Amino acid sequence: MNEDWTALLYLVAAVCFIIALKGLSSPKRARLGNVIGAAGALVAVLVVFAAERPDRLVWILLAIAVGGGIGLIAARRVAMTAMPQMVALFNGVGGAAGALVALLELAEGTGGGLAHLGVLAFTVLIGSVTFSGSVLTFAKLQEIVTGRPMIFPGMRWVAIAVVAGSLGTGIWVAVGSSVLGAVLLAVLTLGLGLLLVLPVGGADVPIVISLLNAFSGITVAASGYVLSNTLLIVAGTLVGASGTLLTKMMADAMGRSLVNIMFGAFAGGSTLGSTTESDRPVRSAGAADIAILLGYARRVIVAPGYGLAVAQAQHTLRDLADELERRGIEVSYAIHPVAGRMPGHMNVLLAEADVPYDKLKEMAQVNPEFRTADVALVVGANDVVNPAAHASPGSPIYGMPILDVEHAGQVVFLKRSMRPGFAGIENELLFDPKTTLLFGDAKDSLGKLVAAVKGL
């Protein structure tokens, strides 16, 4: 294939990636966006085979088959609750691939000036940080290691020393084209990735995943420069830019700066991920009593959270909403930007249950409406409705915008237990006189509510 056709088809693939990102910005077009993005990726791979005519074709195809099989199995089996973990692992794989490409290019002695070698060193650095940091975020979310911030004496100085060593080694690689230096740089920055994520805890971990997603895109773009591949530069830049914007949006939704999220644990500002249950008295009720409260309301606003995803109760929640609407009750859903463990988590979950998208209301739109709601039904959420974000300056979530469910006439919480949310702090709204709790698995509790409402 000649260079003109290669450039044209790379342009087609790049346009597909851009259209895919645009499609993913809307639930109505997300599926089509995914298809267009996949088509662009297929075009890109086929063009590489046609233009480069690589050696060891059998081994390459075998690697693609194995990797594609693993990806297919993971995509089909992963639960919605584990989606952030899968994203973290995929980020890590992308970073590792970029770092390995740079190391191999350096080992083969492809040459190049200071700028080329500098980008090689940068690719090793950012790729290694992405890999080790992503693996640790996966382990935190999967509860393989504690979700609490992990700090050891002198950690700040160790981190500074590793950063200084990494920068010095990177300069050595750029100036001296040293393979040994590149390997040492990879080792140092693998440690740097761990040091970056260790102090992060609780509800801050998903934001770090988004940041590492941006890092993986930057790694791909740098690899594109190393390999003189324009499409990799475009694709990596798109991922890096979108990941950066998403990180900024998530940090804003938490009401905190990225610096505070990443390094707040040194000053006691990170979320802690405590699992201690409160023994303070609360008002609880059975499904029949809460069904009466819901069945005779005029307006109900549902605030879904991670517990809904864990219980896979979205279809039962839709059944309850349908039953309430048959009685003439207005039902809508309040969506917090970081409800669940990643942006859009609740949107996708409720879309699986065919909840009409116009009933999903973003935080800025729905918050004024809570004052006119008879009942706010909180299903599996905690931190995103915790008034401590407004009222407790010492709280790690202080300043975070929340859903103002406290302004509804009555508040009903569906909770499995009195364990705190992912941020590890108590929710004072649970002890408010107008709050009623229904304990149990969300799917089971919602099923009982559906039956009780039907019996009214």
The catalytic residue positions are: 383
For CA atoms 282, 401, 330, 325, give the dihedral sign.
negative
Residue of 422, 415, 120 whose CA lies nearest to 283:
415
- As a whole number of angstroms, the distance between CA 13 and CA 11 comes to 5
Residues facing residue 438 across a β-bridge = 414
- As a whole number of angstroms, the distance between CA 229 and CA 52 comes to 11
Q: What is the 3-state secondary structure (H, E, C) of the chain?
A: CCHHHHHHHHHHHHHHHHHHHHHHCCCCCHHHHHHHHHHHHHHHHHHHHHHHCCCCHHHHHHHHHHHHHHHHHHHHHCCHHHHHHHHHHHHHHHHHHHHHHHHHHHHCCCCCCHHHHHHHHHHHHHHHHHHHHHHHHHHHHCCCCCCCCCCCCCHHHHHHHHHHHHHHHHHHHHHHCCHHHHHHHHHHHHHHHHHHHCCCCHHHHHHHHHHHHHHHHHHHHHHHHHHCCHHHHHHHHHHHHHHHHHHHHHHHHHCCCHHHHHHHHHHCCCCCCCCCCCCCCCCECCHHHHHHHHHCCCEEEEEECHHHHHHCCHHHHHHHHHHHHHCCCEEEEEECCCCCCCCCHHHHHHHHCCCCHHHEEEHHHHHHHHHHCCEEEEECCCHHHCCHHHHCCCCCCCCCCCCCHHHCCEEEEEECCCCCCCCCCCCHHHHCCCEEEEECCHHHHHHHHHHHHHCC
Q: Identity (one letter) of the amino acid at 42? A: L
